Chain A
Amino acid sequence: MSTTTARHEFAPAAHPTTWIGHLRGLLERKLPYEKLLPETQPSYVASWIYVFGVATLGALGVIVASGAVLAFEGPAWYHVSHTGLFFNSLHFWSVQLFFFFMVIHLFGKFWMAAWRGNRAKTWITGMLAFVVSVGAALTGYVVQTNFDSQWIAFEAKDGLNATGLGSWFNVANLGQNLLIHVFLLPAIIAVLVATHVLLVRVHGVVPPIDAAKVEAPPVPTVPEREGVR
């Protein structure tokens, strides 16, 4: 190989033949930079309800940061350290806020019928993120290593055992639950949330339910049909 290889400017192939070329083409079509990082939004994106989605993300960030500190110090640290108790409290309250914001976000999106216009996958990934978060919270409660975790482990085992899941997901097994809580479920949530946010950017914020009437009042619109739009 020559040590004086000339620098080339590679123009993207119009018809890529490689997997990576197809992936690049897909991303360029579905998610160009102006969609990914827009400086404007439709005029209807003007309500406090839109804040709760991003507030949920903010709370998730605080959960991860405070949880990382707790993970490095171990699950029993906060029992014996004031600093530990403070970080545990940050983790506890950020989880409460996370669910509070997420539930408002969910209700808001329901009443906005935010799945319209081919946005069903956005709704589904959001709901899945909620469901997995409930599991993450449950495992968090059983790794507190205090009375509450004893009680929750004893009570929750019956429900899990009744479904057969308890054979593999044992809430009385501290080691298993620590791993699930600290790595597995956060990783799944991260993937779901990232997918959810990217889908929002791909499809844009759903227009108001009566947008057509507002945008073109004199022209009769086609009757809305039942279905996923």
Chain B
Amino acid sequence: MSATTQETLEREPWTGPTRHYDIVKEGVIATFVVLVLTVVLAAIFSSPDDPALTFQGWAKSAPDNLYATTVAELAGTSDSATYGPPYNTNGDGQAIGPIAPQKWAGVHQPVDPPNDFVINPLSSQQQPADVADALVTWTSASADVQAGWATRYDTALNDPQGANGDATKVPAGVGGPVPTLATGLVAMATSGALDSVLPAPGQFFTTDNTKQILFLGDGSYLDDAGTANHLQGNEWGMMNETGNFPGQQWLAPFSFWYQLPIFNSDATTGVAATMTANADIYILAIIAVMMLLVIFLPYIPGLRSIPRWIPLHKLVWRDYYRSRK
């Protein structure tokens, strides 16, 4: 081969020495080997399948927490009730300074926690007389009165100097129908009825679990189960799986950022507090930039030259380099 430039070699069809290479045979063998490997792994290790949590399970294992969460839904103080878009307008969601795509996108999956999580499910079933009366009292009242009842009861229930989460210590008469409604919903959950009613009361088909997921996440039941399975974001949970199975390992570059103190802070004020409260959008912005850099790496000076500066390619092509000396 005469005065051939590297650029010509790369652009033109190869005219140098060749070797027999059957890519079809290689593909068939590779697929077969992968299939065998998969069968062996599946047969030995199986796959994870921890049963889904249920509202019945929540009601039986942590009834006080379900009760308090129900009160918070009625009072509008739960995470879902204050979430903002795409569920409601009770918050702005996350933002990077003035850049607030969550707010801009608006409400696309309306969720009204007091009605969707509590009142509608209760109303869809035959209830004991006291719960039925409480429902009538609640639905007959104005929104302001409802908010007053629920807020007063929520405050009294969670008063560290008072009831401190114990409903039996809340003074009688506080909250109007709220305690009866909460008790009714816990009873409904205990019976198992809430699990099937919550997604779409009165409907035959259900394919959307948004309401169940949001309500479940408002209490401590789901969170405690995540902690027990090492799935929390600040312990690389994004790439963990239940049991000892590998999870989404490919999310490591994503999960990494959640481990940084700036995105994982207990601070209530200052930069760390802002970054932690808006961690998702900051980290996704970082990931988007990283992704674009990698996708368009062939066009980025410096980055595309790294393989020349760190010549690991000599390992890949060591036989070729050696044989042609």
Contacts and interface: CB of A to CB of B under 8 A. Distances in A.
Given A58-B33, A138-B248, A115 B321 contact: no
Contact of A149 (B42, B52, B105, B246): B52
Interface string A140-183: 01001111111101110111011111111010111110000000
Given A97-B38, A128-B295, A216-B4, A155 B10 contact: no
Interface string B204-237: 0001111011101100001001100101010001
Interface in A28-71: 37-47, 49, 51, 54-55, 57-59, 61-62, 66
Nearest to B307: A113
Interface residues of A, number: 106
B295 A113 contact: no
A149 B313 CA distance: 41
Interface residues of B, number: 112
Interface in A60-118: 61-62, 66, 78-79, 85-86, 88-94, 96-97, 99, 101, 103, 108, 110-113, 115-118
Contacts of B160: none
Given A58-B31, A222-B5, A42 B16 contact: yes
A41 B19 contact: yes
Nearest to A158: B280
A146 B49 contact: yes
A186 interface: no
Contacts of B317: 44, 47, 112, 208-210
A49 B315 CA distance: 10
A164 B101 contact: yes
Interface stretch (B22-30, B114-122, B131-139, B267-275): B22-30
Interface string B29-53: 0111111011101110111111111
A56 B285 CA distance: 29
A117 B11 contact: yes
Contacts of A137: 248, 250
A219 B42 contact: no
Contact of B248 (A97, A117, A141, A225): A141
B306 to A, nearest CB: 8
B52 A124 contact: no
Given A123-B297, A214-B324, A88 B47 contact: yes
A5 interface: no
Which of A92, A134, A173 has the most CB atoms of chain B within a 10 A radius of its CB? A92
Contacts of B320: 43-44, 46, 208, 214
Given A99-B249, A172-B213, A221-B4, 4 more contacts: A162-B102, A167-B86, A175-B207, A225-B7
7 contacts: A45-B21, A57-B27, A79-B51, A167-B106, A173-B207, A216-B1, A222-B5
